[in-house]
Amino acid sequence: MTLDELIDTFSFFDDWEDKYRFIIDLGKELPGLPDAAKTEEHLIRGCQSQVWLTYEAASGALNFHMDSDAHIVRGLIAVVLIAVQGRSASDIQQLDIEAIFGQLDLLAHLSVTRGNGLRAMVARIKAIAEHEAT
């Protein structure tokens, strides 16, 4: 799914219960991480649930692999990955993910702790992009 398709699909739903279910369904489609990758080193701090992130850089693009122990968080991970997956480090650094969340009206419908966790994921991805750009 592309970012434009995500935004279009989100606008199709009238209420947040439907959007919430859609986010959870997106998370169900994510491939999980193997247990060997669910280490302290890959754990993202600041998330209410456990979230792990690994990545690889290939041909100028960053590919992220993420997993969580919570269904809704896996869905939020899917939203983030739709925005960043396969982009160059410089594209990710310039990407205004908060604006995307604004278009989806996402943060207004998450608890404060979930919103903070979402921002922690984005901060980790941006830090990786910064590291890879140098």
Torsions phi, psi for 21 (to 5 deg): -65, -40
Q: Domain boundaries in the chain? A: 3-133
pLDDT value for 108 = 86
Three-state SS at 43: strand
| Alpha-carbon distances of 5 from 2, 58, 83, rounded to whole Å | 5, 25, 11
pLDDT value for 71 = 92
Tens-place pLDDT, residues 12-30: 998 999 999 999 999 999 9
User: What DSSP letter does each residue of 47-81 carry, written as one string?
Assistant: -SS-EEEEEEEETTEEEEEEEESSHHHHHHHHHHH
Q: Is 60 assigned a catalytic role?
A: no
Rounded CA-CA distance 59/93 in Å is 17
Rounded CA-CA distance 28/107 in Å is 21
Tens-place pLDDT, residues 71-108: 999 999 999 999 999 999 999 999 999 899 889 988 88
Rounded CA-CA distance 91/78 in Å is 18
Tens-place pLDDT, residues 32-60: 899 999 999 999 988 789 999 999 999 99
Q: How many CB atoms neighbour CB 132 within 10 A?
A: 17
Active-site option among 47, 95, 97, 125: 47
pLDDT value for 48 = 81
Q: What topology does CATH give the domain 3-133?
A: Sufe protein. Chain: A (3.90.1010)
Mean pLDDT confidence for 125-133? 95
Instruction: Check whether 125 has a pLDDT greater than 90.
Output: yes
Rounded CA-CA distance 134/131 in Å is 6
Return the axis-axis angle of helices 112-133 and 71-84, rounded to nearest 10°. 30
